[in-house]
Structure 1
């Protein structure tokens, strides 16, 4: 059951002073996705309802109710979706590890040869690869195969509850930003204030996410801001269209 060769295991032995971005990928993805969705969906909802209102009408109460409902529903949806998704990943990992554990019991020699072959494919000579494989298996056979054969570092396995809480919390924080804007601006300026404020928040989020992940800052900022602006503009247009027809 040889798999594609991965270099993830290289970071396992990194010194305490050497931090790799891959160590942050799991929680960073969930947090950025949650906050981005919170800002975009809630801001779009508020702008859509405001754009659908008759000119001069004060729909603050309806907007607050819609925005709050969107915040709660979105946070719960993010938590549930992330939990289900990461749980499926965790189930797959557990099944693979159980299968590997059985194979280590049934055919330890074959598993040793399989692990050595992985190191040979990476450029290690046969004798050294066999020695390294034997030493690693003597210390932690399952961990060695999980890391180098299955690409499942045991210290970085899927954590459904952690991912669910991270997504829900970040969504709530992101959604609260455009929702709070409703309370500090006049109804006539609401669409513009929520739109501009949300784009600024999205730009900051994109920059922070790119910086934390070690990516190009301006590219992450532009990408997040563009799609956020597109979503809000589309919702405003639809709200205006429906508001005029109803």
Structure 2
């Protein structure tokens, strides 16, 4: 009998315990989203500035125009990323706050209707009417506002995205990515500028592509291939344009 109890307790523990590979811990899914956003920002920085410096290097061997264009592209891209993320996340946060304010008001004015609505949500997920009502009542007694925000809106009131964090994260990741092709083309000897930069960029894109796929749970080979091919095409196009413009001028 005691063995059965121990087995039952062990089974219960194993069921309730979170799997290490799944984001059950509060905030871990949000952190994964930030990491993925950082990887994407780095990819943007790598490809954008690589295209600029390779295009300019195809038109001239003079170091000054390459440096000027690369720095300008880095700064402009970083500022653009920061502004874009700040505006986007601020808009999202304003919308979430408005929804939460509406939900808080409805809870204060119509608590019984909100309880019935919460029970209906869980019933729609497969619970019986009695069980859904019991779950709704227990969650309401614990924290009605948090329960409704999560079930109805899919929002954690204590974990709203910070637009400043988003802006700084995007700016930093873009800048770090952009520095790679800029430094590679400046330190390489003139005849090797484009090949060295292309190799450095493709290796970096392969690494960030694999990392992004791992964070997103996707197949690394396919995701990496897309990123590398896209980067190679971008550099090829800008090199061809730079070459044509340089010859024409």
In structure 1, stretches of 5+ residues that fail to align are: 1-12
Question: Which ranges of structure 2 fall in alignment gaps of 5 or more residues?
Answer: 1-15
The TM-score with structure 1 as length reference comes to 0.88
Partner of 1:7: none
When the two chains are superposed, the root-mean-square deviation of aligned CA atoms in Å is 1.8
Partner residue of 1:33 out of 27, 40, 51? 40
Q: Where in structure 2 are the equivalents of 1:67-216 lying within 5 Å?
A: 67-216=70-219
Q: In the alignment, what sits opposite 2:232?
A: 229
- Number of residue-to-residue matches in the alignment: 230
Give the alignment's TM-score, normalised by structure 2: 0.87
| Aligned equivalents of 1:183, 1:106: Cα separation in 2 | 66
Aligned to 2:57: 50
Aligned residue for 1:152, secondary structure, equals coil
Shift of the alpha carbon at 1:203? Answer: 0.5
- Contact persistence 2:185–2:194 (CA under 8 A): no
Deviation, structure 1 residue 76: 1.2
Whether contact under 8 Å (2:32, 2:215) holds in the other structure is no
1:70-128: CA deviation from partner (whole Å, max 9, x where unpaired): 11111111111111111111111011101111111111111111110010011101111
Q: Could you say which structure has the greater relative contact order, defined with CA pairs below 8 angstroms and 6 or more residues apart?
A: 1
Does the 8 Å CA contact 1:24/1:213 hold for their aligned counterparts? no
1:243 pairs with 2:228: no
- Higher-Rg member (1/2): 2
